[in-house]
């Protein structure tokens, strides 16, 4: 259950995250170089990738699955500070010791590079550093958006915001859906949601129930969420920066 294994080598050309990950700007030649130094690692849901303070000998990209970046206070209070999805980058060049815990939330596959060769390649490959800068700036913006949520939003708004983000993501990437109706599976347990939103799991559960009673969401089992009217969900997020890029109701 908690075992870790290395999976078969896969060609970069066929990779699902080829056009969004840190390697997305690389030429074929550069890709071949990366190919030579990369390896895959796989983690079962719940397994730790690295603990804060421990050495992290590699950098990598999430290929499939979801990972959580989090921090824990001495007395056990825990805050998730990032939810890493496919194409997101793990680790920091030049820093061999992790400052956050990284944990597989679902089953997880990472495309990894040993730190030294990757750094060497970054120095000689502007495409890599450029893309990493861009991704880091995006992460920084996202972290700042999340600070607004953590500092100022109510429990209800926090839940609605998370659901809206997941719904939008599902609708942009996902399978075509009838009308404005979006459905997706929560990648997180109630406890993980609480850690992410700065709440307790009881509050998460209550607010989910409240949104269900209000008809804003429909729950099938505990993980499957259907959003009958995205605009109504967004109306409960407390801000409308989510309203842009509404999932297109006229999708084929």
Partner DNA sequence: GCGCCGGGTTGACATGGATCAAGGATTGCA
Partner DNA sequence: TGCAATCCTTGATCCATGTCAACCCGGCGC
Binding region for DNA (CB under 7 A) = 46, 154-156, 189-191, 198-206, 208-209, 219, 221-223
From the list DNA, its own copies, none, partner contacted by residue 130 (C-beta under 5 to 8 A by kind)? its own copies
197 lies in the site for its own copies, by CB under 8 A:
yes
Q: What six digits make up the tokens of 123?
A: 């120095």
The yes or no reply on residue 133 touching its own copies (CB under 8 A) is yes
Please tell me the distance from the alpha carbon of residue 83 to that of residue 149, in angstroms, as a whole number: 15
The CA distances from residue 17 to 63, 176, 225, in Å, are 6, 20, 26
| 239 is an interface residue for its own copies by CB under 8 A | yes
Nearest one of 32, 45, 48, 132 to 87, comparing CA atoms: 132
Candidate residues 1, 5, 144, 252; the one interacting with its own copies per rule CB under 8 A: 144
Q: What is the CA radius of gyration of the chain?
A: 19
Question: Under the criterion CB under 8 A, does residue 118 sit at the interface with its own copies?
Answer: no
Q: Which range, of 23-31, 159-167, 206-214, 236-244, touches its own copies by CB under 8 A?
A: 236-244
CA 108 to chain centre: 11
Among residues 71, 189, 205, 226, which is the contact residue for its own copies, using CB under 8 A?
A: 71
Using the rule CB under 8 A, is 25 a contact of its own copies? no
- Shortest reach from residue 152's CB to DNA, in Å: 9
The region of 58-66, 126-134, 177-185, 215-223 touching its own copies under the rule CB under 8 A is 126-134
Among 44, 129, 218, 246, binds its own copies (CB under 8 A): 129
Q: What single string gives the DSSP state of each residue in 218-230?
A: EEETTTEEEES-H
Q: Does 79 bind its own copies (CB under 8 A)?
A: yes
| Contact call for residue 139 and its own copies (CB under 8 A) | yes
Judged by CB, which is closer to DNA: 158, or 168?
Answer: 158
Residue number, 1 or 73, with CB nearest to its own copies:
73
Q: Which is nearer to DNA, 54 or 219 (CB)?
A: 219
Beta bridge pairs of residue 209: none
């Amino acid at each position: 259950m908690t075992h870790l294994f290395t999976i078969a080598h896969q060609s970069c050309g066929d990779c699902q995250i080829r056009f969004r990950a840190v390697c997305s700007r690389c030429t074929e030649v550069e890709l071949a170089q990366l190919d030579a130094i990369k390896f895959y690692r796989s983690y079962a849901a719940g397994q730790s990738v690295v603990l804060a303070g421990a050495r992290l000998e590699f950098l990598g990209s999430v290929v499939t699955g979801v990972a959580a970046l989090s921090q824990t206070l001495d007395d056990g209070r825990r805050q998730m500070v990032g939810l890493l999805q496919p194409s997101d980058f793990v680790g920091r060049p030049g820093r061999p010791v992790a400052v956050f815990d990284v944990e597989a939330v679902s089953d997880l596959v990472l495309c990894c590079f040993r730190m030294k060769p990757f750094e060497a390649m970054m120095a000689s490959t502007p495409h890599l550093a450029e893309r990493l800068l861009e991704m880091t700036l995006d992460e920084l913006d996202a972290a700042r958006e999340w600070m607004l949520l953590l500092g100022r939003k109510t429990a209800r708004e926090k839940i609605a915001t998370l659901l809206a983000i997941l719904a939008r993501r599902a609708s942009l990437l996902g399978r075509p859906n009838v009308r404005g109706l979006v459905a997706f599976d929560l990648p997180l347990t109630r406890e993980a949601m609480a850690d992410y939103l700065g709440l307790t799991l009881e509050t998460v559960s209550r607010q989910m129930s409240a949104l269900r009673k209000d008809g804003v969401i429909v729950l099938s089992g505990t993980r499957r969420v259907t959003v009958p009217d995205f605009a109504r969900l967004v109306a409960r997020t407390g801000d409308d920066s989510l309203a842009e890029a509404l999932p297109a109701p006229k999708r084929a």
